[in-house]
Chain A
C-alpha cells in the first residue's frame, strides 16, 4: 500500500517519536509513505487567527503539491494538520470567493480530489485485521484510555469523522492490538492546547482532570493521536504532580507507538525513550506479561 505523507512541523520537531514510530510500524505492515516534496506549514492555529485567506492558502498549497506529485490519499498524522487540510478543502469547495483569492495568491488552479487521512483512518484503511494478525505481545491486561482531544473529531460537519461527543474509532484500533480500551469520561475534553505557552496554569488544570479520570478508570496508559495533546499530557505532567501532590504518573503514548509495541518492534526505533514520563516501567511490565497499575 502507498500513501502520500504530510508530516507537518510537529512530526519533524517536537513530536519526532510520532514520526519515527509511524514509519516503523508502516514499514512492518508493508505500507509506503511518500513525503510531499517541498511541503510547507499548514498554518496551524496561528494562521487563522491572523488571516483567514492565509489559513486556507497554506494547506491549499500542500494539497496542490500533493496532486501535482500524483498522490490520491495523503496521511496527516498531526490532528491539527489533518483539521486544517480538511477545513481548507471544505472552504475551497463551498466558497468561490476564497477559492479565487487563494488561486490568485498561489498563482495556481486548485482542484479537489485528495483524500486526507488522519492516523486512525490510516489504520482503518490498512486494515485492523492486519494489526491483529501481526500482534506479538500479550496486551490482554493492558487498559488503555483513548484520548481524541478536539481537532480530530470537530467540527463534525466538515471532518465527518466519528461521533464528535463520543468517538469510538480509536478504541477499535486499540482492540486490534489486544489491549482493553477503558470507557472513561474525558476522551474529547479540552487539554488547554496552545495555552501551554502563555497560560500554563490553565493547561495544567485541564490536563490534570483528563489524567485523573483516566487513572480513575484504571487505565495504564493514555493513547493519543495529536502532538499538542501529547505535549500537554506528557510534558506538563511532572509539574501537574508537583503542584497537586498525591498523584500517580501515567505514560502517554502515540497510537502508532502502542501498535509498534504490540508488533514487537524495537523500543528505541519507536522513540519510546523520548518521552518526559518514563515509559520503561510500562514496557517492563508488558514484557513480564504483567501490567502495573
Chain B
C-alpha cells in the first residue's frame, strides 16, 4: 500500500504545541508511507491541492491527515481525495488538535503523542476497504405529528412547497395550546385571530390530509421510507357525512357532564361536543364515558336530529397506514398541574400553594381562559370561586421551573413574558386593581420583550417583588400570600383575591412512548433530543425525523414557528433528491458464521436488525440469520460489541482495523 501523510499546523492551533515538521519527518519512516509533509492550513485550497498533487505524483492509494477533529473536516479531506481518485473511505484523520495540542502544553511530549496518533491511523488505514455510499429511494411525503402552531406551520410550509402532508392530531381539533390563549406577547394581538385562519388553511389545503382525533401507533422503516400506522379513535360521528351544523351538540340532553379540557376545567361541556366554536375540523365527538346512550342504552337524541345520518354509535377505532419519507414531531408540551398527584417521583408538588384546594389559585392556562373573550367568563375578569372581580391579584413565577428540590431544574422560558402579559391584561380590565408579581429573575430576551415587561411595570403599574412565596392560605375569604422581598430584605404578606401560578412547561405524558416508537432520544424530562444543540437543532438522532416547537424544550410561539419552518425546510431538503446517499458506515452480518441468536436484535436501538431466512436450492429454510437494514442502521456498533460469534462487523471500523490501530500503539511500550 502507498500511504501519504499530511500534517496540518492549523495556524498556530496545532503548531504552537506540536512540532509539525518533526511529526511529518517521523511519519515518513513508517512502513507503507511513501509521502509525508506538513503545511500551515491543510484544509485551505492550496492545502487540499498539496494532497491532490501528492496523490497523483506519488500514486498514493490511502491518505492519513493529522489535523483537527473529523467532525470538522473529514468531509473536506475525503472530498479532496475522492476528486483525486481515492475512495473516500481510504482516508483517515488523526485528531492532533482537540486530542493533542489543545490539551497539552509540553512540546516534546505533545509531539511524541502526535506521532503515535498518526501511526495508529496509518496502521488502521492499511486494513480499510473502499466503501460505496448507500442509495435509498425517497417517498416525497411528510408526516407531521401534532396540530398545534408548530405542526400547522410545518404542514403549511411543506404543502405549499408542493409536497403532500399527513397531519395527525390526537385531540378532536387542531389548534393546540395557542387556540386557548387570550392575547399574545409582546404585541397583545388576539391569539385566535392570528391562528384560526391558519387552521382553516390547513383544512382546505389540497395537499394536507388532516387526521384528527388520532394517534401514531407504530413507525417502521427508515429515512425516506417510513411506514406509519395511525390509530383513528372512534368519534361516533362519520366525518365524511357530518356538515358541522351543531344540532346534535345543541340537542344533547347531558349538558354539563364533563369539565371542558379546552377551558382547563373552568367550564363544563355536553357529552356530545366540539372543543371550541372555531374547531377544525368542525365535527363533534361523543364522550362515551358520560354519554347516556353508552351508559344505559337509551337516548339516541343526537342520532334522531342528525339530518345527515352521520351519528354512528357502533364506530370502532380504525388503523390506517401511511407511507412517508420524513416525519416532523410537533407534539408540544403540557403545563405542570400540581393538584393531581403526579406519578413521576421527581415531582414533589407544591402543597403549600393550595392549588386544587383553593378555587381562586389557578394556573397560567386557566388565567388565559378567564382573560379570553371565548372563555367561560367571556373575557370578564371574574375569579372562579364566586365570580367576582378580584381587586388584588398575585402572580407567582417559576412554580416548578428552576427548582431542583421540588420541580425541574430547567427554565420554562415563556413564563416571565406571559406573566407580564397576564398582569397587563388584568390591569387593562380592572383599572383600580392591584397586581403583584413574585419573580426570581426577569428573563425577557427577545425582540421587544424587555420593553414589554418594562411597559407592564412602568405604564401599567404592576408591582414586581423579587422573591419566592412560601405559603398561601385562606383566611376570612382572602388568600394570604406569604413571601419574601429579597431586594428590600423584608417579609411580605399580601391578602389577595386571586393567585395565578406560572407552572412549569413539561413534556407530554406519552412523549417517552412516542420517542421509543420513533427511535429518537429524549432527555430525563421526556423532551425529545435534538441531534446537536447548536448545529443540528431540528434534527434527531434518527435520520428523516425532525423536531418542531415545545416537544424539544420550553419554547414560545415565535420560536416554535421558526423551528417548524426550519424542520419543514429540512424535510424539503430530503425531498429535493429522488435518491438518498448515506454513509456506508453500517453493520454487516457474516451469514456463514451467524448462529441466529439475535442478541444483536435485542440491543439495537434503531430496530435495524431483521431476521433473514437462508434457504437451500429446494427452497427449504436451512437457518435464520440476522440481517442489517442499512437504511435504518446508524453505525453505533452495539451489535458488533454484543455478537458472541463475532459475526457482525461495522464497516469502516472492523475488528482488524481497530486491532491494528491498538497494536501499533502497544508496540511503543
B residues 315-362 touching A (CB-CB < 8 Å): 348-352, 354, 357
B473 touches A164 (CB 8 A): no
How many Å from the CB of B406 to the closest CB on chain A? Answer: 9
How far, in whole Å, are A53 and B172 apart by their CA atoms in the complex?
61
A166 touches B474 (CB 8 A): no
- Which of A156, A157, A185 touches B473 (beta carbons < 8 Å)? A185
How far, in whole Å, are A251 and B475 apart by their CA atoms in the complex?
22
The reply on A125 being an interface residue by CB < 8 A is no
How far, in whole Å, are A63 and B405 apart by their CA atoms in the complex?
29
How many Å from the CB of B500 to the closest CB on chain A? Answer: 19
A166 touches B352 (CB 8 A): yes
The reply on A133 being an interface residue by CB < 8 A is no
How far, in whole Å, are A157 and B404 apart by their CA atoms in the complex?
12
How many Å from the CB of A67 to the closest CB on chain B? Answer: 29
- Residues of chain B within 8 A (CB-CB) of A164 are 348, 351
B352 touches A156 (CB 8 A): no
A165 touches B473 (CB 8 A): no
A163 touches B349 (CB 8 A): yes
B residues 50-100 touching A (CB-CB < 8 Å): none
B352 touches A165 (CB 8 A): yes
How many Å from the CB of A79 to the closest CB on chain B? Answer: 19
Q: Who on chain A is nearest to B406 by CB?
A: A165
B residues 103-131 touching A (CB-CB < 8 Å): none
The reply on A123 being an interface residue by CB < 8 A is no
Total residues of chain B contacting the partner, CB 8 A: 12
Q: A150-168 vs B: 1/0 string, CB under 8 Å?
A: 0000001100000111100
The reply on A186 being an interface residue by CB < 8 A is yes
A residues 185-223 touching B (CB-CB < 8 Å): 185-186, 189, 213, 216
A185 touches B474 (CB 8 A): yes
How many Å from the CB of A161 to the closest CB on chain B? Answer: 12
How far, in whole Å, are A189 and B473 apart by their CA atoms in the complex?
11
- Residues of chain A within 8 A (CB-CB) of B473 are 185-186, 213
- Which of A165, A166, A185 touches B475 (beta carbons < 8 Å)? A185
How far, in whole Å, are A165 and B354 apart by their CA atoms in the complex?
9
- Residues of chain B within 8 A (CB-CB) of A213 are 473, 475
A165 touches B350 (CB 8 A): yes
How far, in whole Å, are A157 and B475 apart by their CA atoms in the complex?
31
How far, in whole Å, are A163 and B473 apart by their CA atoms in the complex?
17
How many Å from the CB of A183 to the closest CB on chain B? Answer: 8
Q: Who on chain B is nearest to A168 by CB?
A: B351
Q: Who on chain A is nearest to B480 by CB?
A: A185
- Which of A156, A186, A216 touches B348 (beta carbons < 8 Å)? A156
B351 touches A163 (CB 8 A): yes
B352 touches A216 (CB 8 A): no
- Residues of chain A within 8 A (CB-CB) of B351 are 163-166
B residues 464-486 touching A (CB-CB < 8 Å): 471, 473-475
How far, in whole Å, are A165 and B357 apart by their CA atoms in the complex?
13
Q: Who on chain B is nearest to A163 by CB?
A: B351
How far, in whole Å, are A139 and B496 apart by their CA atoms in the complex?
36
How far, in whole Å, are A216 and B354 apart by their CA atoms in the complex?
18
How far, in whole Å, are A93 and B405 apart by their CA atoms in the complex?
21
A165 touches B349 (CB 8 A): yes
How far, in whole Å, are A164 and B349 apart by their CA atoms in the complex?
9
How many Å from the CB of B73 to the closest CB on chain A? Answer: 47
How far, in whole Å, are A190 and B561 apart by their CA atoms in the complex?
48
- Residues of chain A within 8 A (CB-CB) of B474 are 185
> Considering residues B351, B357, B475, which has the most beta carbons from chain A within 10 angstroms of its beta carbon?
B351
How many Å from the CB of B476 to the closest CB on chain A? Answer: 8
- Residues of chain A within 8 A (CB-CB) of B350 are 165
> Considering residues A183, A185, A186, A189, which has the most beta carbons from chain B within 10 angstroms of its beta carbon?
A185
- Residues of chain A within 8 A (CB-CB) of B357 are 166, 183
A residues 140-183 touching B (CB-CB < 8 Å): 156-157, 163-166, 183
- Residues of chain A within 8 A (CB-CB) of B349 are 163, 165-166
- Residues of chain B within 8 A (CB-CB) of A163 are 348-349, 351
- Residues of chain A within 8 A (CB-CB) of B352 are 165-166
How many Å from the CB of A171 to the closest CB on chain B? Answer: 13
How far, in whole Å, are A157 and B406 apart by their CA atoms in the complex?
10
How many Å from the CB of B87 to the closest CB on chain A? Answer: 55
How far, in whole Å, are A166 and B339 apart by their CA atoms in the complex?
11
- Residues of chain B within 8 A (CB-CB) of A185 are 471, 473-475
Q: Who on chain A is nearest to B341 by CB?
A: A163
How many Å from the CB of B535 to the closest CB on chain A? Answer: 38
How far, in whole Å, are A185 and B405 apart by their CA atoms in the complex?
22
How far, in whole Å, are A206 and B440 apart by their CA atoms in the complex?
27
- Residues of chain A within 8 A (CB-CB) of B405 are 157
How many Å from the CB of A247 to the closest CB on chain B? Answer: 16
How far, in whole Å, are A186 and B480 apart by their CA atoms in the complex?
12
How many Å from the CB of B400 to the closest CB on chain A? Answer: 13
> Considering residues A157, A163, A165, which has the most beta carbons from chain B within 10 angstroms of its beta carbon?
A165
- Residues of chain B within 8 A (CB-CB) of A216 are 475
How far, in whole Å, are A85 and B84 apart by their CA atoms in the complex?
75
How far, in whole Å, are A60 and B351 apart by their CA atoms in the complex?
33
How far, in whole Å, are A163 and B342 apart by their CA atoms in the complex?
12
How many Å from the CB of A218 to the closest CB on chain B? Answer: 14
How far, in whole Å, are A186 and B474 apart by their CA atoms in the complex?
10
How far, in whole Å, are A157 and B473 apart by their CA atoms in the complex?
25
How far, in whole Å, are A123 and B471 apart by their CA atoms in the complex?
30
How far, in whole Å, are A165 and B407 apart by their CA atoms in the complex?
14
- Residues of chain A within 8 A (CB-CB) of B475 are 185, 213, 216
- Residues of chain B within 8 A (CB-CB) of A166 are 349, 351-352, 354, 357
How far, in whole Å, are A189 and B480 apart by their CA atoms in the complex?
14
B residues 340-386 touching A (CB-CB < 8 Å): 348-352, 354, 357
Name A residues whose Cβ lies closer than 8 Å to a Cβ of B. Answer: 156-157, 163-166, 183, 185-186, 189, 213, 216
Q: A163-B349, A185-B471 are in contact. List 16 more A-B contacts (CB 8 A).
A: A157-B405, A164-B348, A164-B351, A165-B349, A165-B351, A166-B351, A166-B352, A166-B354, A166-B357, A183-B357, A185-B473, A185-B474, A185-B475, A213-B473, A213-B475, A216-B475
A-B contact pairs, 10 of them (CB 8 A): A156-B348, A157-B405, A164-B348, A164-B351, A165-B350, A165-B352, A166-B349, A166-B352, A185-B473, A185-B474
9 A-B pairs with the lowest CB-CB distances in the bound complex, closest first: A166-B351, A165-B351, A185-B473, A165-B352, A163-B351, A156-B348, A163-B349, A165-B350, A185-B474
